[in-house]
Amino acid sequence: MSKFFSKKYDALTPYTPGEQPRDMQYIKLNTNESPFPPPEAVVEAVKREAGACNLYSDPTCRALVEEVAKVYKVRPTQVLPTNGSDEILNFAFMAFCDRDTPATFADITYGFYEVFARLHGIPYRTIPLKEDFSIDYREYMGIHSTVFIANPNAPTGLALSRAQIEEILVSNPDNIVVVDEAYVDFGGESCVSLIDKYENLLVTQTFSKSRSLAGARLGLGFANEKLINDLNTLKYSTNPYNVNRMTMTAGVVALQNQSYFDEKCEEICKTREYTKEKLTKLGFFVLDSKTNFLFIRSDKIDGERLYNQLKSRGILVRHFNGERIREFNRVTVGTKAQMDAFLLAVTEILKENQA
Ligand code: PMP
């Protein structure tokens, strides 16, 4: 740390993104990206748009917002596109939390919530997941705090129902409930349709997972006009051109090619169930994922050892060192061929470790 770095960040531990090593070609099952490239129409449109990069992007993201409104059946004024959904989450911490309005989230959830809270000096409370790693939605009722819920949750993959989220919304009428739906397209129930019903609801989604655009960085916020205005105040106070031209175009054309992504999501869900079944046969405990990843544990090998041995065979998964989850690994669902390679490696590793 330099002597110039502000003291207010003394205690800040930044978010650790999943590793992106370049030392060899890995089968990358560690950051929940889609294994499928975006459709050709997206790639071509982005190439064309690159020629106009001498001009700033549209700060209102009009073309994108209108396309989103059509696909999601909301009004354009109820949508805010951002530079990945991390950015809208950051805006939400800035906009809807402060010293008197703390944040609440699960003890095991997306690690960035804690980082944002600390970055902005926001007091926060974590609520432990139940023994089975599910969220007890009743513990979030009437808590006088801004709620952040990843639904489905990460890294567990477990989801709450829309009805359970509604109970949280109804019981916290004076606080914002942020529902982070980064993985909702793989089997969760979205709450976007509830934004007219609950003035305290903000839903966030991303193009990084089900729409194959992690590297383009595109997220969306859905809420009533007043909340979107609040969030826009922060966007225009930080980075008005937060979505660049190529990304905006990629988003529009992706939305026009929804059937491509629906097909890919279906394929990923099928491969997820296939992988889950095989892992269960190998003796793994596998949580019931509604996402594009599996959270897995085996009594036969400890979590970190499995992670390291997979890595040495060119397969990257994600291991977290948290107290209750250190025996687990989070495995992104890739193509069927990638998962077969993963399963073969796991089988061999288990055999070697038994001998
Ligand atoms: N929410 C959750 C639960 C996530 O796992 C991620 C991905 N790391 C994000 C939000 C942010 O994704 P992005 O910024 O790529 O949209």
Q: Give the CATH number of the domain where residue 299 resides.
A: 3.90.1150.10
Give the CATH number for residue 195: 3.40.640.10
- My answer on whether 157 and 266 are in the same domain is no
pLDDT of residue 22: 83
* Six token digits for residue 340: 């077969």
Residue 336 CB coordination number (10 Å): 15
In a domain? residue 1? no
- My answer on whether 31 and 57 are in the same domain is no
Ligand 1 center from residue 281 Cα (angstroms) = 31
List, chain by chain if needed, residues with CB within 6 Å of any ligand 1 atom.
Answer: 84-86, 110, 150, 154, 180, 182, 206, 208, 214, 219
Going by CA atoms, what residue is nearest to atom 12 of ligand 1? 85
* Six token digits for residue 69: 């409104």
Nearest to 208 by CA among 107, 320, 315, 291: 291
- My answer on whether 148 and 60 are in the same domain is yes
What is the pLDDT tens value at each position of the chain, 355 positions in all?
Answer: 899 999 999 889 999 888 888 888 999 999 999 999 999 999 999 999 999 999 999 999 999 999 999 999 999 999 999 999 999 999 999 999 999 999 999 999 999 999 999 999 999 999 999 999 999 999 999 999 999 999 999 999 999 999 999 999 999 999 999 999 999 999 999 999 999 999 999 999 999 999 999 999 999 999 999 999 999 999 999 999 999 999 999 999 999 999 999 999 999 999 999 999 999 999 999 999 999 999 999 999 999 999 999 999 999 999 999 899 999 999 999 999 999 999 999 999 999 998 6
Ligand 1 center from residue 347 Cα (angstroms) = 30
Ligand 1 center from residue 45 Cα (angstroms) = 25
pTM for the model stands at: 0.97
CA dihedral 192, 196, 202, 204 (to 10 degrees): 20
Atom of ligand 1 nearest to the CA of 17: 8
Ligand 1 center from residue 355 Cα (angstroms) = 40
Burial of 287 (C-beta count, 10 Å sphere; 0-12/13-18/19+) = buried
pLDDT of residue 18: 85
In a domain? residue 46? yes
- pLDDT tens string 67-120: 999 999 999 999 999 999 999 999 999 999 999 999 999 999 999 999 999 999
**CB-based burial, 188-204: b 16+ in 10 Å, e otherwise:** bbbbbebbeebebbbbb
Give me the numbers of helices (H) and strands (E) for the chain, helices first please: 10, 12
- My answer on whether 93 and 236 are in the same domain is yes
**CB-based burial, 109-123: b 16+ in 10 Å, e otherwise:** bbebbbbbbbbeebe
Nearest to 257 by CA among 26, 43, 16: 43
Q: What are phi and psi of 229, to 5 degrees?
A: -60, -45
- pLDDT tens string 123-160: 999 999 999 999 999 999 999 999 999 999 999 999 99
Ligand 1 center from residue 354 Cα (angstroms) = 37
Nearest to 79 by CA among 57, 64, 96, 92: 64
- My answer on whether 64 and 144 are in the same domain is yes
What is the domain range of residue 218? 40-257
pLDDT of residue 11: 86
Tracing tokens 């939605």 back to the chain, one arrives at 137
- My answer on whether 313 and 267 are in the same domain is yes
Ligand 1 center from residue 68 Cα (angstroms) = 19
pLDDT of residue 204: 98
Atom of ligand 1 nearest to the CA of 153: 3
Q: What are phi and psi of 104, to 5 degrees?
A: -130, 135
pLDDT of residue 354: 83
Nearest to 185 by CA among 255, 137, 236: 255
For residue 329, the surrounding DSSP H or E stretch is: strand 328-332
- My answer on whether 185 and 274 are in the same domain is no
Atom of ligand 1 nearest to the CA of 207: 16
In a domain? residue 2? no
- My answer on whether 125 and 188 are in the same domain is yes
pLDDT of residue 254: 98
Atom of ligand 1 nearest to the CA of 208: 15
Domain count, the chain: 2
CA 133 – CA 128 distance, rounded (Å) = 9
